Structure 1
Amino acid sequence: MSAFKTFFKNIIKAGDPDDDTVTVKGKKKQKYHGTVSPYPNFKASEDASVLQSAIESKGVDEDVIISVLVRRTNEQRQKIKTVYEVANGKRLDLALESIMRRDLEDVTLALLMPPAQFDAHQLRKATKGWGTTEDVLTEILATRTNEEIREIKKVFKQEYGEDLGDIIEADTKGDFNLALQALLRAERDEGDEVNMDMVHKDAKTLFEACDSTEGLDVAAFIEILTTRNGKQLSKTFQKYASMSDLTLPKVLDRELKGDIEDCLIDIVKCAWNKPAYFAEKLHKAMERHGTCDKTLIRILVSRSEEDLKKIVEQYRTMYGVRLQEAILEETKGHYEQVLIGLCGPH
């Protein structure tokens, strides 16, 4: 069974994700699906003092450090960092970096970065050195909002003195580069309205793009997949299925190979069910010999205040085991405690 078939078999079993809105006094508001919420009665000065004591204690008190960082939102952690530096004359991230090692150090430092800085850092690592980590580029650019992408580009320029688009241009090629550049433009419709006239038009465009005698018109796919909202794309995929003997995933699998195939398929997965897309990535990170800790850290940290609660739910339905249990099987020690803490209450 192809990876795409397996994904859709699992999300059909999992069902559609819950509605993201709730009606309060006649008005719709976004539900909160994060696992980390603002800590009540928060005082940055108290937390900074607690962390300083834990850092300076004999043997270092990792339990205290973890309990503070995991239970505070990113905004609260930024305030703690500021107070800590004023009080101690040293940056909190550097103090923790000097006492922690390996995966625990990586996840702790990740928690202390503002979201845009963390994403920029991940993109930098994905494009620096020998070889490019293509799936990381697609994951971040295909799942962030337009505003988040614009902020990532701004921070990347400030941090590394280079334009993110130029870096990706130099490190990728062909249709894959075109798709990433389209995502970088941050022009996706972020509403939830479905235009049925556009559904028919786009489905026809994709059908003709697949039926071309010159091969698949990838540019047409890139244009539609990177600019339409998720609900619009879902309806378009359904309409396409009624026009063709082959489903859209089968066409992409048959006509494309390599990075551009993976990129467009990931965009389609996100359109269908973004939490399921992340659940699948977490499962793959732990199913093979040797856990991909970078993936675990990247997803759990970046989604902890976005939709990690939904990802946890999707994971259990798709794979028949709780995400926390899977993590317990693959990790250990204080590093394990951080990951489990980010997943929310048992």
Structure 2
Amino acid sequence: MAKFANLTFTSQGTQMLVQAQNSHTLTFTCGKLGSGVLADTDDISKFTDLKSPKMTLPIVSVDDSNEEKLVLTFDTSNTELEEGFVSREIGIFAKLDNSSETLYAYSNAGNNYDYIPSKDTPSDENRLVVNLVVSSSANISVQIDKSIVYTHKSDVEEMIATHDASDTAHETRFKLFEKIADFGNDIIKKLALTTAITAITALETGSWFGQLLKMVLTASGVKYNIAQNGYVCLGSFFGGLIIQWGTSIHGWVSFPVMFNSYRVIITNHQGTASYGSKPRESDTLGGFTLDVSNNSDISMDAYWIAIGL
């Protein structure tokens, strides 16, 4: 990039800055590069444009953190430049209120120029930063060109720094941590309940984790029915073990759920009920025949438990 001397205010630039301190608005609109050569008789203060403008530079960002200085960043991409040129001139353009834009400040690099090739040879340099002295009492705005479609490395670094400095930058992550902490407290409280079944039921109905737990248990084959004639299927977590129980009168008993491959039946020896005979041929994985000693009394029953897979 060419080595430019300090910018010189034009007469109109100085006048606009003065008026911007008196209820008017000074708006910086763009920059320009040109190839003009200064003559000894040239008076920069009288310039309203470059001597030989070649490229318009849109403003892509501004730093106004210093009240006495503006830092303008321009795009110098040559992607639309039809013909290369020697870059000697730089001009900063502005307008007052709704008037036409004019040259605000100017500099010429003389022999310290640079060559900017046409679009056929993409340029590596695509940003130009210019410092402008202004007044803290002036009403100033900057026309940012938001049509620039690429992002510069410095833009990304600035966005990351701004993000990390924000108090709410990681708010979503913090909320996740809070949810995990709540989940831990939830488990501790639920496991302090009287039974595992009560705890699981409470989890299923009382928290987001419970809904997840319910899906996991269902997928693994865990199911249960805690009743007088009930069962617990422990699923793949415990090798498919099934425990069933009930009370029945003499005759055929259907299991609440069917065993898959194996079962052992145990009956009680209470009242007039006695152990059943050896399993009959009609016994299946879906039920068995229960023998009660006093089978003429339909009120007499026996308790049984079955364990299997």
Q: Which has the higher helix share?
A: 1
Structure label with greater radius of gyration? 2
Pairwise same-fold verdict (TM > 0.5)? no
Q: Which has the higher strand share?
A: 2
Greater relative contact order structure (CA < 8 Å, 6+ sep): 1
Shorter chain as normaliser: what TM range?
Answer: under 0.3
